[in-house]
Chains A and B, each alone.
Chain A
Amino acid sequence: MTAYVLSDTTTLTGRSLRHILRSPDTIITTAVTPIALMLLFVYVLGGAINTGSDESYINYMLPGILLITIASGIAYTAYRLFLDMQGGIFERFQSMPIPRPSALWAHVLTSLVANLASIVIVTGVALIMGFRTGASVANWLAVAGILILFTLALTWIAVIAGLSAKTIDGASAFSYPLIFLPFISSAFVPTDSMPGPVAWFAENQPVTSIVNTLRALFAQQPVGNDIWIALIWCAVLLVAAYAAATAIYRKKIS
């Protein structure tokens, strides 16, 4: 049966990618909020924000915007998984000789593709708005790698939500705090402008290290310790969420 893990996962991923192609609005709505925030911050608030660097403000805030894009994109992952669990289709898959993890991995891979598509759109808009980087290919690959890792970590959190939600609203509501996390980080303003406890939280939550890493990569500056903290955060979140999600899944289907 394990011989079919790959082919069945591919088949099922093809199915959910087709869902996205048939309702591309999910990718567009994922990109709309970050783009609106970008417009708001660059053209309305940005002028009054002192980042303490000579980078343009859009260069400063794009990393945070990309994380917000992912955080709002995974709400759809939970939504799609929830719908599948509600309908009879998952039961059909489970009564067929399909390797059990395939159905979940199909959703995870679909989430990855959909989020990368949204990120490309948002980055494109940022380029139009004046985002510039001299990042090398290696830097871009590092940026992509971190974004993929972050997407996977958040996607598995979304899988937990999609599997355990009781209502469709519950399935997507979990993402709101995740969308807010970048606001209490170094994404939009330097953390040293915040009052003590807030600054402490901002400096010690995962988004700040990821944002700082991405920003350094875009600006071709040394990433320092931030990249290791960022990678550890992503890995820990990923492993914990993956373990919890598969445990819930196993309990749910047996």
Chain B
Amino acid sequence: MTKTMIARALLWVLALMPLLAAAIALPEGSFRNGAAALSSLGRLTAIGGLGMFLVAAIVSFRIPGFDRVFGGLTTLWQTHHLLGAWAFLLLLAHPLLLALAATDISLAAGVAVLLPKSGGTATWLGWGALLAMMAFLAPSFAFFGRPHYQRWKWLHRLSGVAAVLALAHTFMLARTLPEPWDTLMWVTLAAAALAALGYGLVLSRRANRYRYQVAEVARPANNVVELSLVPEGRALSYQAGQFVYLSPLDPGLAAGCGEEHPYTLSSAPGEPVLRIAIKDLGDASRAIQTIATGTEVRITGPYGAFFPDRDDAPELWIAGGIGITPFLARTRALAQRGRAVNIQLIYCVQDQARTLFGEELTRLAATIPGFVITLHYFYRDGPLDGDFVRYHCPDVSSRQVYVCGPTPLLDLARQVVLGAGLPRARFHSEEFNLL
């Protein structure tokens, strides 16, 4: 088990702690008949769901550096998604289980659990929390079609309201754990979420925010720009393959002025300028194609842990389209260092005309001993397959494999290299599917 896996496992332990404590504290006979079992499960789902919800909140505040402990921000977000989804499922089951338990007495009692006639403040707080949760998760789970990024982000703030209402509901009703443990447990988790919010949104945001100016806009293709940014104050320190959140502050932009979006850095650490290659993939990235030189941008980061700190093992890189950016950064860094490496790059693009940075990559590769580039053209070679990979990289299963590109390529590459006998632990991918 790697260190990052242990770190992620600890998050799950923290999230499941309330559920475990409650399961242990349940009185004898809690499962002695159907109604009692439904009632006990109704409580356990609530406690388990809230624990996971609060830990999902704790890991959602992106704190530069903190994410590397867990294998990078995108990996940490997968944990966030999974915790959030489980919390949602458990919290949906909670009122239904309690209502079903009460139907053992009468149907009216079951309905009254959900819609109390009098004195149901705690119940209504619970309803408020659940409805808020449905509202802020609807776009995340694409309940009503593919979400709009900014609207999703804005709606997700309702999670704070849901957390407060759910905690109030819990404090009024909690009766499974003996005091003071019950209060202590929820106060600790809520305080940790609040501390992460405060640190992530205020202190760390201030410490990790940088102002840059657009010095040059290069056009490697008609729908891709590479911005060269010079620092206005202190400069960002980062590693190849990391990404930042960038907010353009050019008032002339058609969309996205002041909005932050994640982009991979394409420059090598140590270059005097910061470079970011951006493909037109949405409203904001389309608008940024026309960003004016001399305007300011705000950078927050760096995030991610795509490449490891040690890099002496043989590697295979598989890039698709604009997914070349982390590899471009690394190639530029390797060219500066000039040491021999054992790296194969398979760069997948539609056709030769759509090869981004092809010329520069070929030129740099010639200066790095042991660095080999293979181009895979979809129109000529078809979808990437095992034969192609094994032909160009016969020892694929003994390498560290890094993949970055659109989801279909990512899935295909995973299938191909795992099929070729690569252990799962040596497969690394950077996914920008943040929703």
A and B found bound together: no
